[in-house]
Amino acid sequence: MRNDRLTALVLIAVSIFSLLESNRYGPLSRLFPRVVAVALGVLSLVLLVQSIVRARPGYRQKSVGLPSASGAEPAETGSSGDMRGMLFSLLVMVAWTLLLEPVGFWAASVLAFSTLVLILRTPGKTVVWKNILGGAILVTMFVLVFRIALRVPLPEGLLW
Amino acid sequence: MPAVLLALLQVIHPINLFLVTLGVGAGIVVGALPGLTATMAIALLVPFTFGMNVVHALVLLGGMYCGAIYGGSYSAILINTPGTPAAIATTFDGFTLAKKGHAYRAIVVATIASVVGGLIGVFFLLFLSPPLARASLRFGPPEFFWLTVFGLTIIATISPKSTVKGLIGGAVGLLIGTIGIAPIEGTIRFSFGTLALQNGISLIPALIGLFCLPEILDMIASRNEERSAVPYRSQRHMLRRVWRLMRRKPWLLIRSGLIGTGIGIIPGAGANIAGMVSYNEAVRVSNEPEKFGKGNLDGITASEASNNAGVAGSLVPLLTLGIPGAPPAAVLLGALLLKGFRPGAELFTVHATVTYTFMFSLIVANLVLLPLGLMLGKGASKVVAGLPVSLLAPLVFFLSVIGAFAIQNNIADVYVMLALGLVGYIGRKLGFQPGPIVLGLILGVMCEQGLVQSILIGRAAGMPVAIFFTRPISLVLIGLTLFSAGWPMVSRMRRRAAEPSHDSDSTMPSGGSHA
Amino acid sequence: MRVQRMPRVAVVIIAVAVMVLPTTLFAAGGGEQGSFPTRAINYVIPFDAGGQSDITAQYQREVLERELGVDVVIRHQPGAGGALAWSALSRGRADGYTIAGNNIPHIVIQPLVRENAGYRTEDLRPVYMFQTTPIGLAVAANSPFNTLAELIDHARSNPGRVTVSGSGTHSGHHLAILQLQYLSGAEFTYVPASGAAPSVTNFLGGHTQAILANSDDLVQHRESMKILAIGTDGRFHALPEVPTFMEQGYDFTAGIDRGVTVPANTPEDIVRRLERAFDAVTRDPAFVTQMEAMGFEMQYLGADAFAEYVARKQREISTVLRELGEL
């Protein structure tokens, strides 16, 4: 419930910002963003009220539209999993995208792919070097297909 | 008539059969990779058809178009990421099945539905093109506006757990869609002074980010030893079993095919929303709406039959009027013009043989789809099942990056993909699903265009408001919108009347108490 | 166990490669000659695949490859009215291996109407201009108006009542309607669509009364419309019965000029090499026949003449936009 309240407040802020920002646009450019911003604000208010009402001790859960029971199945168990591994992987992914241009698409991808394989390995069970080799082969093949066959100009950077 | 006979002979010529198969196969592969769309597949192939004769080129490109739209279902089912925007609604039920080990079953359903839907579309293309194309022109800016408003009511269906959150997601999508250059005055909106945002948020990177990255992160967080994230279980006689099930609901297939064809014909609407509209109708008509989104085969059927019917639909205005019904059709138009063919009446008189060969080749393409799709689909689901998370997660992310980049050869799109991926992940933890956000993004651009164009036209005619409410097709669409928005309440009341005892403890996922 | 799965993955990857790689065979070939070029040249189209710039480039490619002796790779980078591709080009390597389509007025208008378009027109060096698509004004075949004069009279006495469809804001069509309004004193309602195709759809469906369209669309749909005026100097070869705006007393031309451009600091000899190649392409008889049949007008402007032309257009367009209060 606290999450919902926070989300609603953030979204209300977004809605107010959009309304203010759209003042600078011409009449036909601001119409649509305004309508949407107002809708977003109103809906977020509803969410805010809902979360406050439902957090009250005397509230009995109704049958429909339970905001708390939301999300896909993995989401409900999501926070319990390997959060550290997830965050490390996410950092690698961010680095991956940032390195694409300076280092080159192929090099950055092989590097980041291998790092992820290392982070995600199960000690004792995975034959790490085979997965790294497999990953490198896959990456190389895709890069070749895109560069040469499909003529997509993937960033070359320092190391191709 | 001799033209038709000649075309029949042409289409069964081994070279053409080979080219159709090649096109469908390559299309499936491209469509299955997230980020590589049908439009892109055809655009990449056009230069290579330069040296071919027109029949060969069209047959190949047409096969590619069918294959790519169908191929989008693989990644939708296997990694919860629509391979092409047309397959969004396929993720709702497809991925749930895949996680339970029924990926191949879902793919078989998608394949049969695609074949049937595709054939329905070609039927209309063959026999009713000219009147349908003329009718499609009746769709002006006000109709587009109402069509998109109707489209937004789908949110209530695809976010059963919390309608408010679904609607908020939709509004966020609409707002994201306003970033960039405004359609009328050319104002640059919400760019925060950056060059990258001036161009707006492109659909494909957003789609990959919102759907794919959260899935990868969850896959990583919940990985378990080296067990597969998407297990593969095989069953004997899958095709026959599934067909026996699907045969029981012919109307579902036919209705979805009709919706897909109809929406495909409307220039600019395209297959992207055909799947969602059809899904929406399937839920509404169903006696058990609560089963959708939890691995219901009917959901996959509705989505896939509809988007493949949209392929032929989008060719109706293309061949008769020279107006493409969808982005891939626009690239096909370019290929036609390159060959010196001018769409319109000439195509059905002077060049009738070529035109009919092309149309017949689409029938072949849809038939080839069955064995080829089942084969590739089985392969794909086995591969995904065989990969440990430590390999699958980096691979899927790599494909996301390459797909996001290749759509416009723009590195900024990769950053957009990552940023929206994070938004999607946090949103998902808070109970916001990617479906409504992407729906808002797709519809927002069309909706605003329709709105402001209508206002301009209405103002010129001295009826700035009345223009929205006086045109016949608009009125039909308004009626549909009201019906669709009110339906969850109606169905809830009906069910309450039918089974009063279950009222207090059911979770009622179809409900939209706030709709 | 998992490791044994690897070959299967390899099989699938090879299958992918087998499906996609044959296409390279078509594109293979090309030798080397002189110092430039020695490798493939990227020809960037700042608009969508399937559009007119794309089609023209696809036609040029074959002859261009013959002339330059290397592969020419056409790729698309649409967005922001062309500005996305042009800003990328202006920041890229000035070695002649990446060239981009240069569409006037777009390339001139974008930096004028925006605080930050990512490039300035001066950051790019025009190389060669090969065609013009004249813009014409048309009404529906069953329209009560038969001449430009009738339409303009009606618009003068009913300001804002006549709707005109066109392909977007700050596009060639937009500029044409602004010039027509400026010169005639009539007031139209311009209804911009998100491209040429949706604009034609709006018009053919009867949702607008008139349309500003490129010559190839006019040629394509001429049975369902009355073309009232065309934006050429003299009569247009593909539509000789249509009078020009100038003939009817409105002293302006309207069209979209297409050429190619490179970053401004590209070495002189490379610019000249590309100029020669495009000149040869544009004078190729087969190319001329195809282009004229589609409704395009040929142009043969070399680097210097093209640069002058761009500068002149820049002055003209900024004057028009300023006087009409669009800036």
pLDDT (0 to 100) of residue B83: 86
Burial class (CB in 10 A: 0-12, 13-18, 19+), B140: buried
Across residues A62-88, what is the average pLDDT? 55
Q: With an 8 Å Cβ cutoff, are A149 and C42 in contact?
A: no
A interface toward C at CB cutoff 8 Å?
126-127, 130-131, 134, 137-138, 141, 145, 148-153
- CB contact B346 to C (< 8 Å): no
pLDDT (0 to 100) of residue A98: 93
C186 phi and psi angles, rounded to 5 deg: -85, 155
Q: Is the pLDDT of residue A59 over 90?
A: no
Q: With an 8 Å Cβ cutoff, are A151 and C13 in contact?
A: no
Retrieve residue C133's tokens.
């698509």
Burial class (CB in 10 A: 0-12, 13-18, 19+), B465: exposed
pLDDT (0 to 100) of residue B175: 94
Residue of A nearest to B44 (CA): A150
Q: With an 8 Å Cβ cutoff, are C21 and A149 in contact?
A: yes
pLDDT (0 to 100) of residue A111: 92
Retrieve residue A143's tokens.
């890069």
Residue A154 lies in a domain: no
Residue C213 distance to chain B (closest CA, Å): 14
**C6 neighbourhood in chain A, CB within 8 Å:** 130, 134
pLDDT (0 to 100) of residue B196: 76
pLDDT digits (tens, 9 = 90+) for C140-184: 999 999 999 999 999 999 999 999 999 888 889 999 999 999 899
User: How far is Cα C40 from Cα C65, in angstroms, rounded to an integer?
Assistant: 9
CA distances from C312 to B133, B156, B451, C30, C152 (A): 43, 56, 37, 38, 28
From B334-343, B432-441, C278-287, the region with the lowest mean pLDDT = B334-343
**B343 neighbourhood in chain C, CB within 8 Å:** 220
User: How far is Cα B401 from Cα B216, in angstroms, rounded to an integer?
Assistant: 13
pLDDT digits (tens, 9 = 90+) for B359-377: 999 999 999 999 999 999 9
pLDDT (0 to 100) of residue B137: 87
User: How far is Cα B209 from Cα B215, in angstroms, rounded to an integer?
Assistant: 10
pLDDT digits (tens, 9 = 90+) for C102-128: 998 999 988 888 877 888 888 999 999
Residue B42 distance to chain C (closest CA, Å): 9
> For a pLDDT cut of 90, what percent of chain B falls above it?
41
Across residues B101-119, what is the average pLDDT? 93
Residue B350 distance to chain A (closest CA, Å): 35
**C42 neighbourhood in chain A, CB within 8 Å:** 153
Which among A126, A134, A150 has the least Cβ separation from residue C6?
A134
pLDDT (0 to 100) of residue B4: 84
Residues facing C137 on adjacent strands = C212, C229
Residue A151 distance to chain C (closest CA, Å): 7
Q: At what angle do helices B88-99 and B434-460 cross, to 10 degrees?
A: 170
pLDDT digits (tens, 9 = 90+) for B427-462: 998 989 898 999 999 898 889 999 999 999 999 998
Residue A36 lies in a domain: yes
pLDDT digits (tens, 9 = 90+) for B296-312: 999 999 999 999 999 99
Q: Is the pLDDT of residue B512 over 50?
A: no
Residue B10 distance to chain A (closest CA, Å): 29
CA distances from B238 to B91, B106, B196, B234, B248 (A): 21, 10, 48, 8, 16
Which among B140, B331, B445 has the least Cβ separation from residue C207?
B140
Q: What is the mean pLDDT of chain B?
A: 86
Q: Identify the residue whose tokens are 């992940």.
A: B425
Q: Check whether the bond before B183 is cis (ω within 30° of 0).
A: no
User: How far is Cα B188 from Cα B199, in angstroms, rounded to an integer?
Assistant: 9
Burial class (CB in 10 A: 0-12, 13-18, 19+), C35: exposed
User: How far is Cα C41 from Cα C28, in angstroms, rounded to an integer?
Assistant: 14
Across residues B277-285, what is the average pLDDT? 90
Across residues B408-425, what is the average pLDDT? 90
Answer for the pair B361, B63: CB distance below 8 angstroms, yes or no: yes
Burial class (CB in 10 A: 0-12, 13-18, 19+), C55: buried
Answer for the pair A146, A152: CB distance below 8 angstroms, yes or no: yes
Residue of C nearest to B449 (CA): C193
Same domain, A94 and A144: yes
Across residues A14-33, what is the average pLDDT? 91
- CB contact B25 to C (< 8 Å): yes
- CB contact B408 to C (< 8 Å): yes
Same domain, A95 and A138: yes
Which among A126, A130, A145 has the least Cβ separation from residue C20?
A145
Q: Is the pLDDT of residue B505 over 80?
A: no
Q: Tell me the three state secondary structure of residue C295.
A: coil
Residue of C nearest to B385 (CA): C5
**The domain boundary residue, chosen from A11, A41, A56:** A56
pLDDT (0 to 100) of residue C135: 95
- CB contact B227 to C (< 8 Å): no
Same domain, A100 and A140: yes
pLDDT digits (tens, 9 = 90+) for B136-179: 888 899 999 999 999 898 888 888 778 899 999 999 999 999 99
Q: Is the pLDDT of residue A118 over 90?
A: no
B interface mutation test: which of C201, C214, C326 has the most B CBs within 10 A? C201
Chains touching B, CB cut-off 8 Å, 3+ pairs? A, C
Q: With an 8 Å Cβ cutoff, are C26 and B321 in contact?
A: no
Residue A25 distance to chain C (closest CA, Å): 13
User: How far is Cα A147 from Cα B375, in angstroms, rounded to an integer?
Assistant: 28
* Residue partners of C303: CB distance under 8 A and separation at least 6: C125, C126, C127, C128, C271, C272, C275
Q: With an 8 Å Cβ cutoff, are A138 and C20 in contact?
A: no
Q: Is the pLDDT of residue A74 over 90?
A: no
Which among A127, A141, A153 has the least Cβ separation from residue C3?
A127
From A25-39, A74-88, B82-96, C106-120, the region with the lowest mean pLDDT = A74-88
B interface mutation test: which of A28, A79, A114 has the most B CBs within 10 A? A28
From A135-144, B368-377, B479-488, the region with the lowest mean pLDDT = B479-488
Answer for the pair C155, C161: CB distance below 8 angstroms, yes or no: yes
Residue A38 lies in a domain: yes
C interface toward A at CB cutoff 8 Å?
2-3, 6, 9-10, 13, 16-17, 20-21, 23-24, 27, 42, 73, 75
SS3 for A4-73, per residue? HHHHHHHHHHHHHHHHHHHCCCCHHHHHHHHHHHHHHHHHHHHHHHHHHHHHCCCCCCCCCCCCCCCCCH
**The domain boundary residue, chosen from A56, A75, A98:** A56
Chains touching A, CB cut-off 8 Å, 3+ pairs? B, C
Residues facing C134 on adjacent strands = C255
Q: With an 8 Å Cβ cutoff, are A149 and C20 in contact?
A: yes
Retrieve residue B173's tokens.
């999508």
Retrieve residue C73's tokens.
């790779």
Residue A133 distance to chain C (closest CA, Å): 10
Mean pLDDT: which of B79-88, C2-11, C242-251 is highest?
Answer: C242-251
Residue of C nearest to B269 (CA): C198
Residue A63 lies in a domain: no
Across residues B465-487, what is the average pLDDT? 90
Same domain, A144 and A109: yes
Answer for the pair B429, B162: CB distance below 8 angstroms, yes or no: no
Q: What is the mean pLDDT of chain C?
A: 86
B396, B398, B400, B402 alpha-carbon torsion, rounded to 10°: -150
User: How far is Cα B351 from Cα B15, in angstroms, rounded to an integer?
Assistant: 20
How many domains are contained in chain A? 2
Q: Tell me the three state secondary structure of residue B390.
A: helix
User: How far is Cα A107 from Cα A160, in angstroms, rounded to an integer?
Assistant: 6
How far, in whole angstroms, is CA B35 from its chain's centroid? 13
pLDDT (0 to 100) of residue B510: 38
Where does C143-297 have alpha helices with state H? 148-157, 172-184, 196-204, 215-220, 268-282, 285-294
A interface mutation test: which of C11, C13, C99 has the most A CBs within 10 A? C13
pLDDT (0 to 100) of residue B486: 81
B interface mutation test: which of A86, A88, A101, A113 has the most B CBs within 10 A? A86
- CB contact A157 to B (< 8 Å): no
Residues facing C136 on adjacent strands = C213, C230
B interface mutation test: which of C2, C8, C14, C21 has the most B CBs within 10 A? C2
Q: With an 8 Å Cβ cutoff, are A153 and C6 in contact?
A: no
Residue B273 distance to chain A (closest CA, Å): 20
Residue A78 lies in a domain: no
Q: What confidence category does residue B418 fall into, taking pLDDT thresholds of 50, 70 and 90?
A: very high
Residue of A nearest to B188 (CA): A25
Q: Is the pLDDT of residue A152 over 90?
A: no
Same domain, A88 and A136: yes
pLDDT digits (tens, 9 = 90+) for B213-265: 998 998 888 887 656 677 777 777 788 888 888 888 899 999 999 999 999 99
Residue of B nearest to C109 (CA): B186
Cβ pairs bridging A and B (under 8 Å): 222
pLDDT digits (tens, 9 = 90+) for B265-277: 988 776 678 999 9
pLDDT (0 to 100) of residue B186: 76
**A14 neighbourhood in chain B, CB within 8 Å:** 175
Residue A32 distance to chain B (closest CA, Å): 6
Q: With an 8 Å Cβ cutoff, are C189 and B457 in contact?
A: yes
Residue A97 lies in a domain: yes
B interface mutation test: which of A4, A34, A63 has the most B CBs within 10 A? A63
pLDDT (0 to 100) of residue C131: 93
Domain that holds residue A12: 2-56
Domains, chain C? 33-132+256-323 (3.40.190.150), 133-230 (3.40.190.10)
Same domain, A46 and A95: no
Which among C55, C204, C294 has the least Cβ separation from residue B137?
C204
Strands C41-45 and C98-104: parallel
Cβ pairs bridging B and C (under 8 Å): 171
Residue A158 lies in a domain: no
A interface mutation test: which of B401, B456, B468, B507 has the most A CBs within 10 A? B401
